[in-house]
Structure 1
Amino acid sequence: MTQHPIPYLFLRGGTSRGPYFNAADLPKDRDHLAQVLISVVGAGNPRNIDGIGGGTAVTTKVAMLSRSDDPAADIDYFFAQVGVEEAEVDFSPTCGNILVGVGPAAIEMGLVPARDGVTPVRIRAVNTGALIEAEVQTPGGAVRYDGDVAIDGVPGTAAPVTLNFMEVTGSRTGKFFPTGNPVDEIDGVQVSCVDVAMPMMIARASDFGITGHETAEELDADKALFARMEALRLEAGRRMGLGDVTRSVVPKIGLISAPRAGGHFAVRYFMPWNTHPTVAVTGSQCLAACALAPGTVAEGLVRPIGPSPVNVVIEHPMGTMEVRVKYDTDPFAFVSAGVTRTARLIARGELLVPAAVWENA
């Protein structure tokens, strides 16, 4: 046999998409696994022509699922961000959009039994240790994908998948403000280093010479902007205790500005080497936390946000995202966050990787 088959599901989760695997069907050795995933995606080519990647960071993501041995969870969700033009894999972050498809995929794989009506799926994000409960529509004991919920960045409507995030503060560093400060100055620019669901470096768009309302395409063409942001991100990563983040997608970058379309604030979210077409689910929680916390770079830009619980509305290049937030004020503490997104099963079957990759990586 010249190729090795791997069972898979292919889902859109939120505004990302990728293959979902049963972890039992993949190599356990991390280096071997990385080589297999590079082959699956076709990483190392801008079009991912020899794999199923889509040539962008939101279409080169992989989810690996297994039953959890954690009594608080049903499913372990292990995430991999595979490169586009670079043949590499980053196992350090998680992805909230791909997470949207984990509940449906776990039910489709038979890892979680479906109920009639709504099936709750308790998920442990292996990369960060976060716990999330997904509520999946399962009338008649089968996952429902059609529905009337629309999310900006995805055409049409679909059935809702509700995610409730617990214990998101200090996801990687153990601290809301990993540097100990609500604001740090790096090379003359004020930034807030925040770790809620996803470690981020957040700054004002105006401090980088942009409005914060540009299109993703306009921003991706601004190479000087990316060079400037990356220099600050590397130092922010060091100060956050993340070490050398040169080859890591964490921390992500958010540049915020005043809202124009009725939201609480606007953001341009970077992954970090290109612009997200919308905003990541994990990133949206971190941005909402930054907007609520006193003394951050968000002060003066954010439209007043009501008392807890509240829906924080974030404007992004393709519309808005709402994050349901619970928080305390005296002293400030971010309690929990929830979002409603959609997912769709696009394909199922077998993915083929060269036998030499499977056997010899």
Structure 2
Amino acid sequence: MMRGGTSRGPVFLARDLPSDPLHRDALLLSLMGAGHELEIDGIGGGNPLTSKVAIVGPASVPGADVDYLFAQVRVRDRIVDTSPNCGNMLAAVGPFAIESGLVSPSDGLTRIRIHNVNTGKLIEARIMTPGGQVVYEGGASIDGVPGTAAPIQLAFLDAAGAKTGRLLPTGAPVDLINGVEVSCVDAATPVMLVRASDLGKSGIETAGSYHTDPIFMAKLEAMRIEAGRRMGFPDAASLVIPKPVLIAPAAAGGTLVTRYFMPHECHRALAVTGAIAAATACVTPGTVAASMVGPINLPTDITLEHPSGRIVVRLESGGGQSGPFASVQRTARRIFEGTVFARRSHLPHDMRLTG
């Protein structure tokens, strides 16, 4: 079990899980306790941020050191969604790969190229390894996590078009959905950006307050589903992508205020992939984000305010064919290791053990 950024979940070696996706997902649902709001019968934390799974194994593509498959296990629904990447859990992949023997560390700093299986993209993680050992203690801090830890740098080498193949999947920087302007952007993850004011919100509300407004949540979900259809996801209602993101003028000296939805609850901080998408939108002419912040030249730091503080995304030119190179700083912690048990009654008949 590891914390990666502002998320937490079990990290498995790929060889320890079934190769059949149906069997794998059935096992994960049982292990995490999905289907109950507290996930009381498993090791999930009863929140989308603590009901995440990372599966790590040998690289399957040239230029990578390891494969990383992310799985979002729904808390209340018995569903495993592998459509998105998770940049926070990504922070745990490098340390895990070293400590599990998948990657040999260097003395001082170890660079690991991670192939995200969900999106097919490569991310370089830079891990502090003095004396060839992973260290978790350090002076770096990230908003949304108490205390300090060793810094982990994540460089998204070509974030644009992570799921759709295009930075602007609809072909336009702005679309009109239900009479509201939105920008559909795909950089690290597909998002639908919308001005908070256009939906009657300030954008600086607490994360939990949105869920108490069912009319707003229903409108946001309807817009998300339509945005998903236009982005090439006809089944968006059953997926966690695209992610809706409210944006508003900065309130505390940053570039923008953001409220990121997962998609049915507001994130208490901001997903790394969502931060990269929002930051990239800020420097993409014509988007609702770019119109709000004005012209920005590269290289630049985009500071995005969120309910727990802020996250800084460094953007530089030359990262990919249609978008900038993006990097962020995260931290991670190894919490425990051991054996977790599934309930046989939750598994398909051909998986159940005898005796």
Q: TM-score, normalised by structure 2?
A: 0.95
Instruction: Name the counterpart of 1:308.
Output: 298
Amino acid at match of 1:80: A
Instruction: Name the counterpart of 1:6.
Output: none
> Residue 155 of structure 1: CA displacement?
0.2
- Please identify runs of 4+ aligned residues in structure 1 that moved more than 3 A: 355-359
Q: Is the 8 A contact 2:281 2:290 kept in 1?
A: no
Which secondary structure state, in structure 2, belongs to the residue aligned with residue 235 of structure 1? helix
> Residue 304 of structure 1: CA displacement?
5.6
Q: Which runs of 5+ in 2 are unaligned?
A: none
Higher strand share: 1
- Identical-pair percentage: 50
Residue 342 of structure 1 pairs with residue 331 of structure 2: yes
Question: Deviations along 1:141-184, whole A, 9 cap, x unmatched?
Answer: 11100000010000000000000111111111111111111100
Amino acid at match of 1:352: F
For 1:170-249, what aligned pairs fall within 5 Å after superposition? 170-249=161-240
CA distance in 2, matches of 1:357, 1:235: 34
CA distance in 2, matches of 1:34, 1:105: 21
> Residue 66 of structure 1: CA displacement?
0.4
Question: Deviations along 1:254-285, whole A, 9 cap, x unmatched?
Answer: 11000010101110000101000111101101
> Residue 82 of structure 1: CA displacement?
0.3
Q: Is the 8 A contact 2:5 2:332 kept in 1?
A: yes
Instruction: Name the counterpart of 1:273.
Output: 264
Higher relative contact order (CA 8 A, sep 6+): 1
CA distance in 1, matches of 2:291, 2:173: 14
Change (3 A) 1:341 1:311: same
Q: Is the 8 A contact 2:283 2:295 kept in 1?
A: no
For 1:84-233, what aligned pairs fall within 5 Å after superposition? 84-233=75-224
Which secondary structure state, in structure 2, belongs to the residue aligned with residue 172 of structure 1? coil
CA distance in 2, matches of 1:315, 1:180: 28
> Residue 71 of structure 1: CA displacement?
2.0
CA distance in 2, matches of 1:304, 1:172: 27
CA distance in 2, matches of 1:69, 1:219: 41
CA distance in 2, matches of 1:224, 1:52: 33
Q: TM-score, normalised by structure 1?
A: 0.94
Which secondary structure state, in structure 1, belongs to the residue aligned with residue 340 of structure 2? strand
Which moves more between the two structures, 333-342 or 247-256?
A: 333-342
CA distance in 2, matches of 1:84, 1:51: 11
CA distance in 2, matches of 1:327, 1:315: 23
| C-alpha RMSD of matched pairs (Å) | 1.4
Q: Is the 8 A contact 2:312 2:328 kept in 1?
A: yes
> Residue 327 of structure 1: CA displacement?
3.2
Residue 321 of structure 1 pairs with residue 318 of structure 2: no
Q: Is the 8 A contact 2:113 2:122 kept in 1?
A: yes
Instruction: Name the counterpart of 2:248.
Output: 257
Q: Is the 8 A contact 1:327 1:333 kept in 2?
A: no
Amino acid at match of 2:20: D
